[in-house]
Structure 1
Amino acid sequence: MPFEDDNRVAARVETGLIVAGFAGMLLLLPRLDWGDGSVRYFQLTALLERGTVPEGKYSMVGPLLSAPLWLIGKIVGSPDWWTLRYNTLLLMGGVAFVWFALRDRLPRPLLRRFILLLVVASMFAHHQLGYNGEMFTAILVLMGTVALLKGKAWPGWVTVAIGVANTPATLPAMALMTARRIWDVRRLRWVLAVCAAAALVMMEAWLRRGSPFATGYEADDHGNRTIMPYSGLPGFSYPIFFGMLSLVFSFGKGLLFFAPGLFLPVRQRLRGLPTGRQLYDVWLAFVIGLLLLYAMYWSWSGSSFWGPRYLLFAAVPAAFALAVRCYRPGDSALADVVTVLALGLSIWAGLNGAVFGDVDVPNVCWPDGAGQYEAPICFYTPEFSALWYPFVAGAKPLIAGQWIYLAYGLSVGVYLLAGPLLRVAGHMRTWVVLGAARIRAVQW
């Protein structure tokens, strides 16, 4: 399908902003080397240095593919420096693949805006700082689904299966996404892709823990008992109703605040863009599957991790929806105002995650390691949300690189908001002119 001519100046500016963002991520921002990411790193180190096969519960599918970075770092004397940039390189590779695969299937201004939002103004900006596994799964599912729509069905499904195998709990999300794709193309054989992902999960469990059914998450895998009525229980014991409410609306973990674009209607604006519509549908199906499962998980919150940790993939359809609404703004003043609010919040979420993170929040919410009363406050109270805590307690001291990235991110935010804000200003001017005309028409 032919699209309108691209604006060369805008193309160069936006490409430059994307490249600058990646350079800042790689070279300016400090890394996060705590939590599950550090466990995965030590498991990889033990495997490569001593040949010790880890028996822990965290998958090694993603970390294994970072082995070349670890080996390069070992040669030059800094394996942690190289390995801790793995997630940033995954994000770079993922968006590069998306660009080259879709540049002739979607309008290029729309595609560039989507990538810029994904890099700078989404939850990916925080996740790329560490070595946790959610980035690997999200990027491979993104690449795999794009390959599907590109006509590379089997490579696409294999890529999705590998990404899902790295986070076994995403199997139900893959099943729902596959069902959506089967409905669209009427090809029942794609059920085999879900079977392949399940087989990979079971194979890893067998090799590492001696049984295909040994997940590593045993009956004693649970959190501390707090004031919350369903805390301290293992597995998927959380009431789904409360879990869904919390994952969507809570100030500290809710998608409404960390990925607001997810809740914007865009279906009508995707008319004439069949590739965009199909991608949005399969992405949304995957996110719904994640929500349904993790709403029942005892650790639905992701504990002290910044934002809705397990729902990183929700940033993909959220960024795409915002990009579509900026590309096709429509005529409604209210819609433009909503777009500005969602876009502004997304920009802040990306900047907050990249620069401020949640380093101070765990010290407040888990002062004794248990957080019997404090942890629920951080999940549900706006003052202790990672998004707003820097305004309450004052920002932590920033290093020079963080200041530079913050200035860059604010510049990107101004660029992204300029168009929607001008449209809102146009609506306001129209209202003022109409109001003045009515006042002049008033007679005694």
Structure 2
Amino acid sequence: MSLTTMEPAAPTTAEPPARRPGWTAVAETVLILAGLARLVWGQQVAVVADGVDRLNSLSLLLGEGRLNNSEYSLMGPLFSTPLWLLGRAVATPEAGIEYFNLVVFAAGLAALGLLLRGLVPGALIRRFMLITVAASMLAPDVGHYGSETFTMMGVMVGIVVVVRGRRRGWGWAAAVVGAVNTPATLVGLGLVSLVETWRQRRLRLLVPVAAAAALVLLEILARKGGYVGDRGAKDVMPFSGRPGFSYPFFFGVLAIMFAFGRGIVWYLPGMFLPTRRALADLGPTGIDLARIQRLWLIFVGGLVLVYAPWWAWYAGMSWGPRFFLAGILPAALALALRLGHRQAGPGANLITLAVLILSVWIGLNSLFWHELWPTACFNTPQSVEALCWYSPEYSSLWYPLVSWQFAHLTGGQWISVAYSAVVLGWLGTPLVRRIAGQLAAAWREHLAPRLTRTAWHW
């Protein structure tokens, strides 16, 4: 019997990432900084809606040393005290407060960049940051004094610190502070805590959510606030006018997911992109990106569960589903991963391109028209608010096209449009090239041979 020596098969490895010229990092950094500047000067920054209540609560505490019985937490506003003092010294407290969420967002984004630096490819970090700044529904929330930005950055940055493994206690503390600022998000934090408890078999990981719940209860008792009796107006919708968490859960989930005016499928499309293969082909990293993405999505899933039965699941007169602002981070990470996934097939790449285009439109739309209220929904006796929550024509996403608001843009806004076009071209051009190459290969290998004259018979 003879033995045949066989050479071992060459291991199949993912295609190595293409080397990028050094100037691309500089260009992407400039685009990120320009996007941050656009958030400051490209919209009217003001304290509006429930932000006015938060400012009044903080002013009463700092000016007179008293607490009011507002239903909105003071946790986030307390961190804005330096801006309140600066604004009062220069003009009015509001002059400083109105920039609070911009400062929080910029600081949180910088923290994420520093936490991930050296652990994942720099190009991925910059894509993630650029998408977050320029291609998400961020603008209205950082331009106002709402609670969602502070909560998002506290919880999501805290999760990254926990996964990174160094100073986990600080990560949990940040998540607790962020969740206390918006008490409903305790459900999302609770799910994250449960998942980590199950994963590590350590009961002490339940302490953060218990501490957050205790802080919320303590504030309610101290201020005698809460949401008891809160309800909306009765209209044509069958379950309108009911108080508190009385909306049918099934319809709430459907609306939060798919309603044309508020559905997160339309406003956070990147969040639904599969990333498993993109993460696998990325290769080993210094941090578990899959775990970060999973915990981020679990937190957002908890928000869906808690807001689905609430009568105001649609978040009132706001642009898009602002209660789910935290979803912009997993959405941006997923899209950034897919844009860099060079092994993806043409179908996956076409879906990624569609999500990129929609995301850039969302970023531009939310910056310009977050205070565009159709009269069919508001301000007249015949108005029906639900038209803006459910119908595509009156949704925040598409009404600017229906009413063709581009006819009213200023010169500065056209510069902002040009910036969005540059971002779309920068992020989308490599993807379009890959798609074109894949379609050309499909034509040569599959379609062209079938279209030759000799391939056809009677």
- TM-score when scaled to structure 1? 0.92
Query: Would you say 1:225 and 2:239 are equivalent positions?
Result: no
Measured against aligned partners, the alpha-carbon deviations of 1:287-335 in whole angstroms (never above 9, x if no partner) come to: 1111111111110001221111211111111111111111224331110
For the 8 Å contact 1:355–1:406, the answer to whether it is kept is no
Q: Match of 1:384?
A: 394
Number of the residue aligned with 2:202: 187
Which stretch of structure 1 is more off in the superposition, 39-48 or 3-12? 3-12
2:261 aligned to which of 242, 252, 259: 252
Q: Counterpart in 2 of 1:404?
A: 415
**SS of corresponding position for 1:225:** coil
Secondary structure at 1:131's aligned position in 2?
coil
Q: CA deviation at 1:347?
A: 1.2
Matches within 5 A, 1:296-307: 296-307=309-320
Match of 2:377 in 1: 365
Counterpart of 1:61 (choices 67, 72, 75) is: 75
**Matches of 1:15 and 1:389 in 2, distance apart?**
33
* Partner residue of 1:197 out of 193, 206, 212: 212
Task: Report SS of the residue matched to 2:405.
Answer: coil
- 1:161: Cα distance to partner? 0.3
Given that 2:101 and 2:150 are in contact with CA atoms closer than 8 Å, whether structure 1 keeps it comes out as: yes
For structure 1, which segment, 407-416 or 171-180, has the greater mean C-alpha deviation from structure 2 after superposition?
407-416
- 1:405 deviates by 2.5
* Aligned counterpart, 1:442: 455
Residue by residue over 1:228-265, the C-alpha shift from the partner in whole angstroms, topping out at 9 and shown as x without a partner, is: 11111111111111111111111100011100011111
Are 2:173 and 1:158 equivalent residues in the alignment? yes
* 2: CA distance, partners of 1:6 / 1:431: 27
Which of the numbers 62, 70, 85 marks the counterpart of 1:71?
85
Deviations 1:58-98 (A, max 9, x none): 11111111111121111111432321111111110011000
Same amino acid, percent of matched pairs: 38
Displacement, 1:187? 2.2
Moved more, 66-75 or 91-100: 66-75
Gapped runs of 5+ residues in structure 1?
210-214
Instruction: Tell which structure's C-alpha radius of gyration is larger.
Output: 2
Question: Is 1:94 aligned to 2:87, yes or no?
Answer: no
- 1:51 corresponds to: 65
Give 1:20 deviation, angstroms: 1.1
1:80–1:157 Cα change, 3 Å: same
Once the two structures are superposed, what CA deviation does each residue of 1:373-397 show, in whole Å capped at 9, x if it has no partner? 6211111111101111111112174
TM-score using structure 2 length: 0.90
Aligned CA distance change for structure 1 residues 158 and 80 (closer, same or farther; 3 Å): same
**Partners of 2:416 and 2:95 in 1: CA distance:** 19
Within 5 Å, which residues of 2 pair with 1:198-347?
Answer: 198-209=213-224, 215-219=225-229, 221-271=230-280, 272-273=284-285, 275-347=288-360
Give a deviation string over 1:174-210, Cα, whole Å, max 9, x none.
Answer: 110111122333322110001111111122222222x
Opposite residue 92 of structure 1, the aligned amino acid is: A
Give the 3-state SS of the residue equivalent to 1:382 in structure 2.
coil
Q: CA deviation at 1:443?
A: 5.0
CA distance in 1, matches of 2:128, 2:48: 30
Structure 2 residue runs without a partner (length 5+): 1-15
Q: Select which of 383, 391, 395 maps to 2:405.
A: 395
Please name the residue that 1:124 is paired with.
138
Distance 2:430 2:373 in 1: 35
Q: Which of 126, 138, 141 is 1:112 aligned to?
A: 126
State the SS of the aligned residue for 1:361: coil
Q: What residue in structure 1 maps to residue 35 of structure 2? A: 21
Q: Residues 364 and 401 from structure 1, CA distance in 2 versus in 1: closer, same or farther, beyond 3 angstroms?
A: farther
| One-letter identity of the residue aligned with 2:398 | W
Measure, in 2, the Cα distance between the counterparts of 1:222 and 1:443.
69
* Corresponding residue of 1:212: none
Q: Distance in 1 between matches of 2:456 and 2:423?
A: 49
- Asked if 2 retains the 8 angstrom alpha-carbon contact of 1:361 and 1:389, the reply is no
CA distance in 2, matches of 1:121, 1:401: 18
Distance 2:98 2:247 in 1: 33
Query: Aligned letter for 1:239?
Result: P
Confirm or deny that 1:167 pairs with 2:162: no
Q: Is the 8 A contact 2:376 2:387 kept in 1?
A: no
Contact 2:42-2:367 at 8 Å conserved across structures: no
Whether 1:428 aligns to 2:442 is no
2:28 partner letter? E
Is the CA contact (8 Å cut-off) linking 1:355 and 1:405 kept in structure 2?
no
> For the residues of structure 1 that align with 2:394 and 2:223, how far apart are their CA atoms?
39
Give the partner amino acid of 1:171: L
* Mean CA deviation greater in 15-24 or 75-84: 75-84
Alignment RMSD, CA only? 1.9
